[in-house]
Amino acid sequence: MHARTTMLTGDPRLVDAGIAHVRDHVWPMMRGMSGALGVSMLVDRRTGRCVVTAAWAGAEAMAVAPEDVRELRRQVAEQLGAPDPEVAEWEIAVFHRQQASGAGACVRVTSLDLPRGGSEAVVDSFRAGLLPRLEHLAGFRSVSLLVDPQHDRAVAAVTYESRAAMHRAGGQGLALRTDFARVTGAAVTAVDEYDLALAHLRVPELA
């Protein structure tokens, strides 16, 4: 399974309009596309930064109807007042949902540079070593790991029931990231926090 992320930084005052557009227009259109597995949207209302993730059954499904997808992306950018979206494509290596996310859920996103050619070892270590420890964090709801083997990079997204729960787990999360980077040789390049504005992903368990 694969995913395409679109990262946009727009006007913070337009974030709710952007959410409404993805919910009311992008998601209904995606449901009619063959191989589409759903969409999620993360937002930082303070900075206007948003991440829209579309999941697909495979690389071939993700490649269909590129003009339609580009038009959807343009519309979202327009709604947010966001120039030059940053688009990336990934393999979905891990997807584990312990409990469905409700209103108020938040997500901590960790970006990683991986050792050259080391994505498989990193994924194995994530599944065997990190995932069982994440499950014990208070307020933990789900986790996904997206990898880009071609560019030796990955993104891990951990969802919590609330911003308070995410912050309470901050110290443990830091320790887990530090230990994971030490064991795998990966480098943490960014850690960002978002509200989970939309969660319509129908990705099956991959753990």
For 31-40, how does the pLDDT look when each residue is reduced to its tens digit (9 = 90+)?
A: 888 889 999 9
Mean pLDDT of the chain: 94
- Of 44, 160, 145, the closest CA to residue 100 belongs to 160
For the residues 66-74, what does the mean pLDDT come to? 82
The residue to which tokens 């409404």 are assigned: 20
CB 35 within 8 Å of CB 67: no
What stretch of H or E contains 125? Answer: helix 119-125
In whole angstroms, what is the distance from residue 62 CA to residue 205 CA? 19
In whole angstroms, what is the distance from residue 147 CA to residue 28 CA? 27
Residue 65's pLDDT is: 63
For the residues 79-91, what does the mean pLDDT come to? 94
Residue 153's pLDDT is: 97
Residue 66's pLDDT is: 67
Q: Is a pLDDT exceeding 80 seen at residue 195?
A: yes
Tens digit of pLDDT for each residue in 112-166?
999 999 999 999 999 999 999 999 999 999 999 999 999 999 999 999 999 999 9
